[in-house]
Amino acid sequence: MNHNDYDIFDDLELETQIDDWEPLASDESTAFLAALGSQADKPEALEASLSELERLAETANIDVLGKYFQRRNKQEKGTYFGKGWLEDIHQKMLQAGANLLIVNEELSPMQARNIERDFEIRVIDRTEVILSIFHNHAKTREAKLQVKLAELEYQLPRLKKLWGHFDKERGSVRSSGGSATRGMGEKQIEIDRRIIKRDITRINHTLSSIIKQKITQRKQREKIKKICLVGYTNAGKSTLFNALTDAGVLVEDKLFATLDSTTRQLKMDFGGNVVISDTVGFISNLPHHLVASFKATLMEVEDADLLLHVVDCSDEHFQDYIEQVDKVLEEIDAAKISQLLIMNKTDQAISSQLDIARKLHPDAVFVSALKQENLDLMRQRIDQMLFQALSLNIFLPYTEARLLSWLHEKAKIISEEYQDSGISLSVVISGEDRYQIEKFIV
């Protein structure tokens, strides 16, 4: 880790250091994945959730050497998995040369500690993998502050576990002097806890002022309509954003390529300009601390007049993803904002898949952001939803020259025909403006 990258924190004078967080060291680049499944869980559902964990692991540069699940209806309180099963997995890991076990749910600090101590398995959970990806992908000050906050919140109850790692010289909180403080047990944990809490307060304070600033900006542009792209990670939000705005936001076939929000003006057919924002993607069971920490970035979502919910319809699990995204939207109080569902990646979806998507979501717009297909139709639908755009036929007498020039400015003229007593027009107009031409509608 290059410390200069984090000069960004200098003015905060944090006492914890950025390399206090290194959940995934280079000697931990091979892993087994593991999950619990109840007797009722379908094998396909378990496979799918482990595949997602595998994509997360790959994004965090970990080689996955095996995927396993244990069937049991309740987790073992102290060790999450059953003891015999853990012994068995330990043997398998040794044989395969896997040095890390990644568990598909959040482990309690005690469970993680017990697995490590009693079974000599280095274990991390899904949350740690996601935090590690966020850590590596954060580029802006805002994103870095939010990730750091989530990391500290996650670390706080786990200090005991971290202290257990002493011999490996990792994971312990260091004093601002940089040398590892070690071997003082409970008392040291108390000190660390205080240091972390102080840093959390400092970061929260800074983030609050970022939020305040955003609220001021929001007031200034209250009248402008706002659109925000939301969706599962990797659905193609940034690709679509770039296609609409030429913003050049980073697009990658990686989970969580985007961690902050970018906003651009977008010229629509009505009402002049709107603003559109691209932002962080969601995933199922997004760690709670992350959602809470990303408040500043997620303000873009809360503030929108319309959400473009982007879906990768070539992915067979798209329906689950839609539900997961809606769940996060509910959590951040954005479920009430109107949504336009955008079924993306039609170029790579097989036709039976498209049929399913059409049946389930007849109101969605089907596009390919990559091939820039059907984007005009999408823009029309945005106009309709944002401005209640109406298609109307009107007849204007020649005496209404002012209204005619107003129409040319404010409406989209589909056709215009000059006749003996006036002009016959077919226009699309914002619902708000309808009253202006009400008496000329035919």
Ligand X SMILES: Nc1nc2c(ncn2[C@@H]2O[C@H](COP(=O)(O)OP(=O)(O)OP(=O)(O)O)[C@@H](O)[C@H]2O)c(=O)[nH]1
Cα within 13 Å of Cα(36), Cβ side: 17
Residue number with CB closer to ligand X (60 or 257): 257
Residue number with CB closer to ligand X (124 or 240): 240
List, in order, residues 6 or more apart from 295 with CB less than 8 Å away.
146, 207, 211
Shortest distance, CB of residue 77 to ligand X, whole angstroms? 36
Shortest distance, CB of residue 423 to ligand X, whole angstroms? 41
Distance CA 426, CA 56 (A): 51
Shortest distance, CB of residue 351 to ligand X, whole angstroms? 15
Using the contact rule CB under 6 A, the part of the chain among 22-30, 152-160, 236-244, 300-308 near ligand X is 236-244
Compute and round to an integer the Cα radius of gyration of the chain: 27
284 binds ligand X (CB under 6 A): no
Structural contact between residues 416 and 381, judged by C-beta atoms closer than 8 angstroms: no
* HEC string for 168-218: HCCCCCECCCCCECCCCHHHHHHHHHHHHHHHHHHHHHHHHHHHHHHHHHH
DSSP 269: S
16, 59, 104, 258: which one contacts Mg ion (CB under 5 A)? Answer: 258
In this structure, the strands spanning 412-418 and 422-429 are antiparallel
111 binds ligand X (CB under 6 A): no
Distance of alpha carbon 182 from the chain centroid: 37
In this structure, the strands spanning 390-397 and 422-429 are antiparallel
Q: Which of ligand X, Mg ion, none does residue 347 bind (CB under 5 to 8 Å by kind)?
A: ligand X
Instruction: Please choose, from the candidates 130, 153, 141, 132, the residue with its C-alpha nearest in 3D space to the C-alpha of residue 200.
Output: 153
Structural contact between residues 233 and 249, judged by C-beta atoms closer than 8 angstroms: no
Q: Per-residue string for binding with Mg ion, 25-54, x by CB under 5 A?
A: ------------------------------
Q: Per-residue string for binding with Mg ion, 218-237, x by CB under 5 A?
A: -------------------x
Task: Kindly state the number of chain residues that form the binding site for ligand X, as judged by CB under 6 A.
Answer: 23
Residue number with CB closer to ligand X (280 or 407): 280
Shortest distance, CB of residue 217 to Mg ion, whole angstroms? 22
In this structure, the strands spanning 422-429 and 273-278 are unpaired
261 binds ligand X (CB under 6 A): no
Distance CA 440, CA 296 (A): 47
Ranked by CB distance to ligand X, the top (closest) residue is 281
428 binds ligand X (CB under 6 A): no
Shortest distance, CB of residue 383 to ligand X, whole angstroms? 22
23, 37, 171, 281: which one contacts ligand X (CB under 6 A)? Answer: 281
Using the contact rule CB under 6 A, the part of the chain among 3-11, 97-105, 200-208, 227-235 near ligand X is 227-235
Residue number with CB closer to ligand X (111 or 261): 261
Return the structure tokens found at 387. 């401005």
Q: Which of Mg ion, ligand X, none does residue 222 bind (CB under 5 to 8 Å by kind)?
A: none
* 3-state DSSP helix/strand/coil % of the chain, to nearest 5: 50, 20, 30
Residue number with CB closer to ligand X (110 or 370): 370
135 binds ligand X (CB under 6 A): no
Residue number with CB closer to ligand X (367 or 427): 367
Shortest distance, CB of residue 13 to ligand X, whole angstroms? 32
- CA of 401: how far to CAs of 268, 393, 407, in Å? 24, 17, 10
- Crossing angle of helices 43-59 and 126-137, in 10° steps, is 30
Cα within 13 Å of Cα(258), Cβ side: 31
297 binds Mg ion (CB under 5 A): no
List, in order, residues 6 or more apart from 84 with CB less than 8 Å away.
none
245 binds Mg ion (CB under 5 A): no
**Considering only residues 333-372, where is the footprint of ligand X by CB under 6 A?**
344-345, 347-348, 368-370
Shortest distance, CB of residue 130 to ligand X, whole angstroms? 12
Residue number with CB closer to ligand X (57 or 423): 57
Please report, as ranges, the residues that interact with Mg ion according to CB under 5 A: 237-238, 257-258
Please report, as ranges, the residues that interact with ligand X according to CB under 6 A: 231, 233-239, 251-253, 255-258, 281, 344-345, 347-348, 368-370
